[in-house]
């Protein structure tokens, strides 16, 4: 195993507050891709977005989809990090159990969501469950929003992130990598 998989690659000071985790292990999308390429059998990639985001928004094709939360819209309710007002979520009660089916407590796990906030929450949940080598892929799949009022992309997540780094991703999926159970399913 390479030394890059056993240390944090970005100090907390270089990571936004919403992306910080209790394990303080971070990688950029490019660093994550290099880690996975070096050991595709030993490095696991978890996509903690919803099934719909995974399928319709695209994903890292080697990623296993295990949603951290199931979103709900309530205009008067609180918001999840990185989500519009009123978009809250119900925790996936099977998140840790499903992760344990895919990864061991000492495996290298790279976690992403849209922009890194839910991934940070997922890393913390996995750390509490005893996982020790869980990295947040900072800036997630979509990346940060463009902050330029003169740009047609102003307010859109088009800076950094897996997609915007030109790394491989797609819409095809392996049914074995998608968790489709839902707590409200019959």
What is the tens place of the pLDDT at every residue in 56-104? 999 998 999 999 988 766 665 555 555 555 556 788 999 999 999 999 9
**Structural element, H or E, at residue 43:** strand 43-47
pTM for the whole thing? 0.84
- Residue 116 within a domain: yes
The reply to whether 2 falls in a domain is no
- 66 falls within a domain: yes
Count up the domains in the chain and report the number.
Answer: 1
Across the range 30-48, mean pLDDT stands at 96
Domain range spanning residue 62? Answer: 7-170
CA-angle at 61, arms to 101 and 79, nearest 5°: 75
Going by pLDDT thresholds of 50, 70 and 90, the confidence category of residue 32 is: very high
The predicted pLDDT at position 35 comes to 97
Write down the pLDDT at residue 82.
52
Residue 135 lies in a domain: yes
Domain-located, residue 176? no
Closest among 58, 59, 85, 57 to 72, alpha carbons compared: 85
First-residue to last-residue Cα distance in the chain: 43
User: Which CATH number fits the domain that encloses residue 120?
Assistant: 3.40.250.10
Ramachandran sector of residue 84 (left: φ over 0; alpha: ψ -120 to 50; beta: rest): beta
| Residues belonging to the chain | 186
61's tokens: 């094709």
Does the pLDDT of residue 46 top 50, yes or no? yes
Q: What is the mean pLDDT of residues 106-135?
A: 96
For 149-155, what is the mean pLDDT?
A: 92
What pLDDT was estimated at residue 164? 92
Backbone angles phi, psi at 51, to 5 degrees: -55, -45
Tokens of 53: 């985001």
């Amino acid at each position: 195993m390479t030394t890059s998989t056993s240390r944090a690659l970005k100090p907390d000071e270089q990571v936004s507050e919403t992306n910080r985790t209790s394990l303080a292990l971070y990688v950029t999308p490019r660093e994550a891709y290099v880690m996975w390429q070096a050991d595709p059998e030993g490095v696991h990639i978890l996509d903690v977005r919803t099934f719909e985001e995974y399928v319709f928004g695209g994903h890292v094709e080697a990623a296993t989809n295990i949603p951290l939360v199931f979103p709900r819209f309530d205009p008067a309710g609180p918001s999840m990090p990185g989500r519009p007002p009123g978009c809250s979520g119900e925790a996936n009660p099977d998140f840790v159990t499903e992760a344990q089916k895919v990864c061991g407590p000492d495996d290298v796990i790279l976690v992403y969501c849209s922009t890194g906030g839910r991934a940070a929450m997922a890393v913390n949940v996995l750390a509490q469950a005893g996982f020790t080598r869980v990295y947040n892929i900072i800036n997630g799949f979509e990346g940060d929003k463009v902050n330029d009022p003169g740009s047609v992309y102003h307010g859109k997540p088009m800076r950094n992130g897996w997609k915007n780094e030109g790394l491989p991703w797609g819409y095809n999926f392996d049914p074995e990598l998608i968790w489709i159970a839902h707590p409200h399913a019959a």
